[in-house]
Structure 1
Amino acid sequence: MIKRLFLLLFLLVAFVYQSRAQDQTQLADTLIINGETIIMLGDSVIILRPEEPVYWKKGGNFNLSIQQVSLTNWSAGGASNMALNTGLNLFANYKKDKKIWDSKLTINFGFNRQSDRRFATRKTNDNFIFLSKYGRELSERWYLSTQIDARTQLLAGYRYFRPGGAERDSRNRISDLLAPAYIQSSTGLNYKREFKNDDKVSIIGSPFTGRFTVVMDDSLSRAGAFGVIPGEVVRAEAGMSLTSSTDIQILENIRWKADLNLFSNYENLGNMVVNFNSVISMKVNKFITTRIETILIYDESVLITRSDKPPGPAIQLQNLINFGIGLEF
């Protein structure tokens, strides 16, 4: 009986000692050196490094759609053709303390080819747009910002027509790389707001805006194309502008991005230069998307040649519906 009591007492003491030992190992010594937390737990040393702040957000997307129709001895008529449309969008946004710097590059290109016509390959889409904005925070959603907006195209553009009595088409070159190019610099107040679901809204009102129209092609410059003085390369204007950028999630797989730029020359207030870009992206899965793109431009200095009217200003409208590969990165 006594032996059993000693054995029970021994087991009880051993259990209490082990419990206290475990409690002591759970008590960790903590030391902070240069922002790093060092935890000593028993014989182990755990180093917790603070998360480094992220100042840059970078990314973009690429889309590609291809259509091909091949006809051989086709009794219903028609013509073989191929169409391609592609686009690349890149962004890099920086934010630290009270400074922001947002940049965005958009490149779109497309063409179609129809083998039975003269000038079989013809451009359908060609845009190069670069936006960069630097701002200093005044309050939570207001910034004093300066923005650069540069727009041009990559390849020559032609107007196709068929002269009276002719059997084949002819063409005139009406634009080219840096002919025209539009560079706009503006400084003003920027209202910027970001929502938890990644929706973004930005509006800049600028009473101090410089707009430069560049025509680097000699023949187009001599003709006074795009509002430049004949023989001159650059036309400079001073005025005011309003710029807005919207990025909104409409539904779970549908996103709408739109950019609007309005400019009015001080010499002729009220006559607006309008640039509006809209993209609705509908994601089918990780790699397949449908995009509806709309571009609207109005500029009184750009004279549009039409068959039923003399050359004059007109609304320029481009609509694209693409179904194809879409990659986010």
Structure 2
Amino acid sequence: MIKRLLFLFAFIFSSVHLSLAQDEIQLADTLVINGETIIMLGDSVIIMRPDKPVYWKTGGNFNLSIQQVSLTNWAAGGASNMALNTGLNLFANFKKDEKIWDNNLTVNFGFNRQSDREFATRKTNDNFIFISKYGRELTPKWYLSTQIDARTQLLGGYRYFRPSGADRDARQRISDILAPAYIQSSTGLNFKKEYKNNDKVSVIASPFTGRFTIVMDDSLSRAGAFGVIPGETIRAEAGVSLSSATDIQILENIRWKADLNLFSSYERLGNMVVNLNSIISMKVNRYITTRIETVLIYDERVMITRSDDTVGPAIQLQNLINFGIGIDF
């Protein structure tokens, strides 16, 4: 009997204590000030702040590869050389409500040095590309967008050759910073889709495009290089354009990024200026990567001196295979 009374007393005491605790919670005062929830419970104050929305996404990639060959008294022949290639890619993308603003900067530079030749150090890679796009949402996948595409290089470029009858190489300067530079402004419909695995596809078609070819070097301008009128520094064209940007995960450690820009002026509608940049990245681990980079350019106004010494428009192609450090941030 005594055990039953003790059990009943303990049950009643626990029920009363739990009821009082619930009453305390129910009696807590709650305030909402500027989106923050403030809960006052007895002598305690609890502040619950909502998560702040994130409108900007920023990041980038840096890669560096170095190759060195040193030969001393090497019976099989050859020459000591060193090659370096580096690249930096930065992006800053904004999205809020129905507005987007995507910015991307790519800078690449490379050279090789071979000690036993005239002009031992020679540039192998030199690109500066800035693309900025602002858009307003029409539907979840379609935007009305304006894009600025600016391209140039950082250092002078040379054509190396050996004059007839000479025993030493010579060089001719054929490009420089802002010689050429290409600035393209386009407005049109933009299809943009992002997938759950971070794959991205964007295509913008513009019937209203302005393209400016800039040659700020006097000697190149006087020669009418890159399609400008001899003596002029800027050539302006109006036309249509199609631009696309692709970022796709092919396999677990293999990613493909490509940017394609097509432009045709109203003056020569159908004759395309082509700019293609493609990068396949194969990650070995967090810091080691292999990159296969391809750049393809075609512009019928740019006269190329070919290997057979003929001059005329031609497809410009650059292929790079790099194995080295790759850091994402």
TM-score (norm 1): 0.95
Deviation at 1:26, TM superposition (A): 4.9
What is the CA–CA distance in structure 2 between the aligned matches of 1:304 and 1:5, rounded to whole Å?
105
Q: Check 1:72–1:47 CA distance in 2 against 1; reply closer, same or farther (3 A cut).
A: same
Aligned to 1:327: 327
Once the two structures are superposed, residues 7-54 of structure 1 have per-residue CA deviations (whole angstroms, 9 ceiling, x without a partner) of: 555434323322323433554554322211223455433221111111
Deviation at 1:6, TM superposition (A): 6.0
What is the CA–CA distance in structure 2 between the aligned matches of 1:212 and 1:270, rounded to whole Å?
18
Give the alignment of 1:92-241 within 5 angstroms. 92-241=92-241
> Alignment length, in residue pairs?
328
Deviation at 1:166, TM superposition (A): 1.9
Aligned to 1:13: 12
Q: Check 1:42–1:254 CA distance in 2 against 1; reply closer, same or farther (3 A cut).
A: farther
What is the CA–CA distance in structure 2 between the aligned matches of 1:317 and 1:287, rounded to whole Å?
28
Q: Give identity over the alignment, percent.
A: 79
* Conserved? CA contact 1:214–1:234, under 8 Å: yes
Residue identity matched to 1:240: V
Aligned to 1:24: 23
Once the two structures are superposed, residues 100-122 of structure 1 have per-residue CA deviations (whole angstroms, 9 ceiling, x without a partner) of: 11110000000000001110000
What is the CA–CA distance in structure 2 between the aligned matches of 1:298 and 1:9, rounded to whole Å?
93
* Conserved? CA contact 1:26–1:42, under 8 Å: no
Does the residue aligned with 2:311 lie in a helix, a strand or coil?
Answer: coil
* Conserved? CA contact 1:247–1:257, under 8 Å: yes
Calculate the aligned-residue CA RMSD, in Å: 1.6
Deviation at 1:168, TM superposition (A): 1.6
What is the CA–CA distance in structure 2 between the aligned matches of 1:121 and 1:309, rounded to whole Å?
24
Aligned to 2:243: 243
Residue identity matched to 1:306: R
Once the two structures are superposed, residues 141-195 of structure 1 have per-residue CA deviations (whole angstroms, 9 ceiling, x without a partner) of: 1111111110000000000011122222110000000000001111111111111
Aligned to 1:44: 44
Does the residue aligned with 2:306 lie in a helix, a strand or coil?
Answer: coil
TM-score (norm 2): 0.95
* Conserved? CA contact 1:81–1:115, under 8 Å: yes
What is the CA–CA distance in structure 2 between the aligned matches of 1:240 and 1:117, rounded to whole Å?
46
Residue identity matched to 1:295: V
What is the CA–CA distance in structure 1 between the aligned matches of 2:314 and 2:5, rounded to whole Å?
106
Once the two structures are superposed, residues 203-255 of structure 1 have per-residue CA deviations (whole angstroms, 9 ceiling, x without a partner) of: 11111111110000000000110011111000111110000110111111111
Once the two structures are superposed, residues 123-155 of structure 1 have per-residue CA deviations (whole angstroms, 9 ceiling, x without a partner) of: 000000000011111111111111111000000
Does the residue aligned with 1:216 lie in a helix, a strand or coil?
Answer: coil
Unaligned runs of 5+ in 1: none
What is the CA–CA distance in structure 1 between the aligned matches of 2:4 and 2:165, rounded to whole Å?
124
What is the CA–CA distance in structure 2 between the aligned matches of 1:268 and 1:10, rounded to whole Å?
99
Residue identity matched to 1:108: N
Deviation at 1:307, TM superposition (A): 3.4
Counterpart check, 1:271 vs 2:271? yes
What is the CA–CA distance in structure 1 between the aligned matches of 2:265 and 2:6, rounded to whole Å?
101
